[in-house]
């Protein structure tokens, strides 16, 4: 478990894995518990049966040893019949079964001991085994001891008899151990099989139950990949009706997602409508302003031409009216162009000779800004790209006008054209003071200007680079800027460019 940046614990396992673990772990615990309980119960049951038999064996031992003349130890059964030191006599009592252990202990010393063999013979106990018998509590309660060797676990009872003698009687637990071992083996095999079968069934059920969630997630992913930020968006993606059953949890998610998509679609449509209205308003207003502005300019020019007839200050005022009306006309034209580009108005599509366009525009800049040094860096062959020649000319003219108005006289500006991988790369590089750092991220936004008060007085509106961006984007291209004091580079990339073959000069 890790933590997300917002502090909420995050599990690295998938929901599927967690569900499977939550199912399998308790199952293993239950199976284990059942196994332990059943083994313990069986063991206790079998031991109590042995204890019952042991009680009978003790009864036989005690009654046998209380008979008068009980002294000789039981024959070891080695064939000589002379009763050589071996098991106690009560091992020979009628009814004692194979494996019955008998011993007599006097003063902490095992005087006789033995185990009944399969043919009724008495098998000797080792001194270590006798040591175990000597240490038994003499409270006539059955205890379990491991006698080692071939004998294994024994149930034993030490009961006091005559003359301080202690009679030890025991029965083997090996059949109990075998039964317990068999049960454990069976439980392990059956438990493992049950576990595997249950886990497989759980995997299938979980996978089946979560499949609709995958489909809902896939729908959400597809929607998240749609470009919703601008333009007209058709949001057709929806969760399928089969995955929107409100009776299931996944269905509730699907229903909620569909409802959210309905809302988003509605909001996007409303946004698009209001954007269209604003754009239409700007386009209409700009269009309507063109005629009165042209009239103002016309009348002002008329007055200006009548040098003699008007007083000097009126003539000066008229010149100002004319120049401001001219500036306003340009602004209106720029606004109209932006509104039309926003509305996706088709641009002219023809093969533009970018090399010639660069040469022409730089020549114009040379005339307009003789204080600057204008340099050209062009490839040998003419570069052609599809586009609108008028608008592309305006793009370059705006960039060069910026060099003229935002860098001091004497600055060198280089216009470079290249073709790289099917893209025409047009760069305007100047050695001026650079774009202020605060302005750089917003430089392509509308009405973004450096020193606002100074720019405005210098006739700047802050629409030049916005137009560059809009025109280049409408051509499917890209524009970017890198600027630092002493070097500002505007780079424009236009797609589908080719280099025309140069006719061999002969």
Binding residues for ligand ATP restricted to 11-30, rule: CB under 6 A: none
Q: With contact defined as beta carbons under 8 Å apart, do 423 and 493 qualify?
A: yes
Q: Specify whether the CB–CB gap between 415 and 354 falls below 8 A.
A: no
**448 binds ligand ATP per the rule CB under 6 A:** yes
Q: Please, which residues bridge with residue 487 across strands? A: 484
Q: Which does 443 bind (CB under 5 to 8 A by kind): ligand ATP, Mg ion, none?
A: ligand ATP
Q: How far is the CB of 426 from Mg ion (least distance, A)?
A: 17
Nearer to ligand ATP, 405 or 478 (CB): 405
Which one of residues 57, 91, 465, 471 is an interface residue with ligand ATP (CB under 6 A)? 465
Closest CB to Mg ion among residues 452, 500: 452
Find all residues with CB under 8 Å of 186, minimum gap 6, and list them: none
Which position among 115, 168, 354, 443 is part of the footprint of ligand ATP (CB under 6 A)? 443
Identify the residue among 74, 432, 492, 497 touching ligand ATP (CB under 6 A).
432
Q: How far is CA 158 from CA 54, 93, 143, 359, 474, in A?
A: 11, 18, 9, 122, 107
Task: Provide the mask over 393-422, with x wherever binding to ligand ATP is found by CB under 6 A and - wherever it is not.
Answer: -----x---xx-xxx---------------
Locate 31 and state its tokens: 């199976």
CB-nearer residue toward Mg ion: 105 or 463: 463
Q: Which does 261 bind (CB under 5 to 8 A by kind): ligand ATP, Mg ion, none?
A: none
Decide if 141 contacts 158 (C-beta within 8 A). Answer: no
Selected range binding ligand ATP among 51-59, 154-162, 222-230, 461-469, rule: CB under 6 A: 461-469
Q: How many CB atoms lie within 10 A of CB 423?
A: 17
Q: Does 347 sit near ligand ATP (CB under 6 A)?
A: no
Based on CB atoms, which residue is closest to ligand ATP, 121 or 460?
460
- Judged by beta carbon, residue 148 or residue 410, the one nearer ligand ATP is 410
> Residue 398 CB, nearest distance to Mg ion (Å)?
6
Q: Select the residue interacting with ligand ATP from 430, 471, 475, 477 (CB under 6 A).
A: 430
The span of 131-139, 181-189, 383-391, 447-455 binding ligand ATP (CB under 6 A) equals: 447-455
- 355 binding ligand ATP? (CB under 6 A): no
Q: How many residues belong to the site for Mg ion (CB under 5 A)?
A: 2
Residue 402 binds to Mg ion (criterion: CB under 5 A): yes
- The answer to whether 103 touches 116, Cβ cutoff 8 Å, is no
Short-list 133, 134, 97, CA closest to 116: 97
Among Mg ion, ligand ATP, none, the one that 155 touches (CB under a kind-dependent 5 to 8 A) is none
461 binds ligand ATP (CB under 6 A): yes
Residues 6+ apart with CB under 8 A from 50: 155, 171, 173, 176
Rounded Cα gap, residues 26 and 34, in angstroms: 12
Shortest reach from residue 353's CB to Mg ion, in Å: 25
Binders in 446-465 for Mg ion, by CB under 5 A: 464
* Crossing angle between the packed helical segments 174-224 and 15-65, to the nearest 10 degrees: 170
- The item of Mg ion, ligand ATP, none sharing an interface with residue 461, based on CB under 5 to 8 Å by kind, is ligand ATP
Helices H / strands E in the chain, number of each: 9, 16
Helix axes 389-406, 354-368, angle to 10 degrees: 30
Which of the stretches 188-196, 246-254, 366-374, 460-468 binds ligand ATP when contact is defined by CB under 6 A? 460-468
Residue 178 vs residues 29, 49, 98, 172: alpha-carbon distances, Å: 25, 15, 17, 11
Distance CA 256, CA 266 (A): 15
Residue, CB closest to Mg ion: 464
DSSP assignment string, 373-420: EEEEE--SSPEEEEE-HHHHHHHHHHHHHHHHHHS-TT-EEEEEEEEE
Using CB under 6 A, count the residues that bind ligand ATP. 24
**How many beta carbons lie within 10 A of that of residue 55, not counting itself?**
14
- Secondary structure of 119-147 as H, E, C letters: CCCEECCCHHHHHHHHCCCCCCCCEEEEC
> Which option in ligand ATP, Mg ion, none does residue 449 bind, with CB closer than 5 to 8 A by kind?
ligand ATP
Q: Is 455 in the site for ligand ATP (CB under 6 A)?
A: yes
Alpha-carbon span 37 to 60, nearest angstrom: 35
The CB-of-8 to Mg ion minimum distance in angstroms stands at 49
Helical packing angle, 312-342 and 249-305, nearest 10°: 150
460 part of the interface to ligand ATP, by CB under 6 A: yes
Q: Looking at 158-166, 231-239, 303-311, 444-452, which segment touches ligand ATP (CB under 6 A)?
A: 444-452
DSSP code for 117: -
Contacts to ligand ATP by CB under 6 A: 398, 402-403, 405-407, 430, 432, 434-435, 439, 443, 448-450, 455, 460-466, 488
Contacts to Mg ion by CB under 5 A: 402, 464
């Amino acid at each position: 478990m890790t933590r997300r940046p917002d502090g909420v614990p995050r599990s690295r396992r998938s929901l599927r894995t967690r569900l499977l673990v939550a199912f399998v772990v308790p199952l293993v615990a239950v199976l284990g518990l059942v196994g332990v309980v059943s083994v313990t119960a069986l063991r206790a049951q079998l031991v109590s049966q042995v204890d019952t038999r042991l009680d009978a064996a003790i009864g036989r031992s005690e009654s046998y040893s209380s008979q008068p003349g009980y002294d000789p130890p039981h024959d070891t059964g080695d064939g000589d019949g002379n009763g050589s030191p071996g098991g106690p006599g009560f091992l020979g009592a009628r009814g004692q079964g194979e494996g019955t252990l008998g011993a007599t202990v006097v003063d902490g010393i095992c005087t006789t001991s033995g185990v009944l063999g399969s043919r009724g013979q008495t098998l000797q106990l080792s001194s270590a085994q006798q040591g175990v018998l000597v240490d038994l509590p003499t409270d006539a309660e059955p205890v379990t001891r491991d006698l080692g060797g071939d004998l294994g676990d024994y149930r034993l009872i030490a009961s006091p008899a005559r003359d301080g003698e202690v009679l030890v009687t025991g029965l083997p637990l090996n059949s109990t151990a075998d039964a317990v071992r068999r049960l454990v083996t069976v439980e392990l095999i059956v438990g493992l099989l049950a576990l595997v079968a249950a886990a497989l069934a759980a995997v299938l059920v979980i996978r089946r139950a979560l499949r609709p969630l995958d489909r809902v997630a896939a729908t959400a992913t597809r929607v998240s990949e749609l470009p919703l930020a601008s333009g007209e968006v058709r949001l057709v993606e929806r969760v399928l009706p089969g995955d929107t059953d409100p009776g299931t949890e996944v269905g509730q998610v699907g229903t909620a997602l569909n409802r959210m998509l309905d809302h988003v679609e509605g909001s996007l449509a409303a946004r698009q409508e209001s954007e269209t209205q604003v754009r239409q308003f700007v386009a209409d207003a700009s269009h309507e302003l063109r005629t009165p502005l042209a009239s103002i300019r016309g009348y002002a020019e008329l007055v200006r031409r009548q040098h003699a007839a008007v007083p000097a200050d009126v003539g000066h005022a008229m010149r100002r009216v004319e120049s401001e009306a001219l500036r306003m006309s340009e602004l209106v034209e720029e606004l109209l162009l932006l509104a039309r580009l926003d509305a996706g108005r088709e641009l002219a599509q023809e093969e533009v000779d970018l090399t010639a366009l660069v040469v022409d525009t730089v020549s114009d800049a040379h005339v307009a800004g003789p204080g600057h040094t204008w340099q050209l860096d062009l490839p040998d062959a003419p570069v052609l790209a599809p586009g609108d020649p008028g608008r592309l000319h305006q793009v370059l003219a705006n960039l060069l006008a910026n060099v003229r108005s935002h860098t001091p006289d004497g600055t060198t500006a280089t216009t470079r054209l290249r073709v790289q991988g099917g893209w025409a790369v047009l760069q305007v590089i100047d050695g001026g003071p650079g774009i202020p750092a605060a302005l750089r991220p917003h430089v392509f936004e509308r009405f973004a200007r450096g020193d606002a008060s100074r720019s405005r007085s210098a006739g700047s509106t802050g629409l030049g680079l916005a137009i560059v961006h809009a025109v280049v984007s409408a051509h499917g291209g890209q524009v970017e800027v890198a600027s630092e004091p002493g070097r500002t580079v505007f780079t424009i990339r236009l797609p589908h460019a080719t280099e025309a073959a140069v006719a061999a000069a002969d």
